[in-house]
Structure 1
């Protein structure tokens, strides 16, 4: 309940702050941020041949990892960029679709993309005994709206998991709100909150709050000191994600 209240409060603050900073314009256009939040994938895709690498530390069991993001014609391929034990080894494809328009002509554009992911992990010990045997399949969509200095994302998906780490069929719904705070000579600083809801058995919903530092047109660093889930993570710097664009 505490995490839910904090998330709702942060979303309202984001919406209010975005309306008060509308006159400043969209300073994010000066940077090249990845098409994701902290955990959540946005409904946008990278430009063709726009490639970046990702590194992270402090996620889940305070482990480390990384991935690759590749812009394709009208789509984006994301390799091994998950943050938890059942999706860190994963191929994710986002296929961009024509924008939707809210409120008719002159309304806000909704960027959206089909999302599909597949992973197959099999790990054996020296005696040939299975340590991990897991298959995951995800199908869904992501919808993103840019409103003044803020960005809002909704991403529902269906998940089929078959293996010893997770054996279930469930639905996930991600919500995210982000706002640019200040653009300085050292880069753009923005804040965001995310909620990841799931119907999976024995799994808590996840709530996260953090800050993104868009250092320049190539480097982005996310600091997520608050993550409330099955395993709460509260610390500084907390979960750290780095994205470097070539």
Structure 2
């Protein structure tokens, strides 16, 4: 299992992915699930992956090898919009699954999913979620968050506090807390985290960082959130007396 998160706000994109790949209780390894395609002056394209590792690595390798090759059916560098990029990734996912399905199915699920995001000059940043079938949906102002993998534990805090007008810094804090909740509740998601804070029109991946368990900010954020949450709970009013003990120790409601 994995957890990948993409957030689209007015200032740009916040992307975060864990690095745990689990092929059994004694086969836990770290892999990169947030990849940047070769940089070009007029575009940046990031791909986050979940699902069958062989399938996702095949798709990303095909995209890397085709970059700048001139084949419009494969070359992300030739795309005029991020919508076209999402179409290419979806098609290559179909190709990879169709090629391997008969061989992989007896042993497991060949399916995979992606978050594809980035910006091409002349257009705003965009974020897409691509399903195993190769079709996709896009993040919008009303739904600025897309997730793949183990999504349920990290979703509530995003639903409560994040909007498309949130700053990138706010998005980064909420993303980290989303991963903290997920890691606490599911052992199949783990550090390190790969995190990219992309500011619109910068066309730079220089802010891509890897967050490990001893990262000072990660440690401070988790501790401060735990203490603050405990303090908030202590400050809340107690529940009203909905249940009143009566004679004999039973409860009357």
TM-score (norm. length: structure 2): 0.31
Q: Please tell me whether Structure 1 or Structure 2 has the larger radius of gyration of its CA atoms.
A: 2
TM-score (norm. length: structure 1): 0.32
Structure number with greater CO (CA < 8 Å, separation at least 6) is 2
Structure in which a larger fraction of residues adopt strand? 1
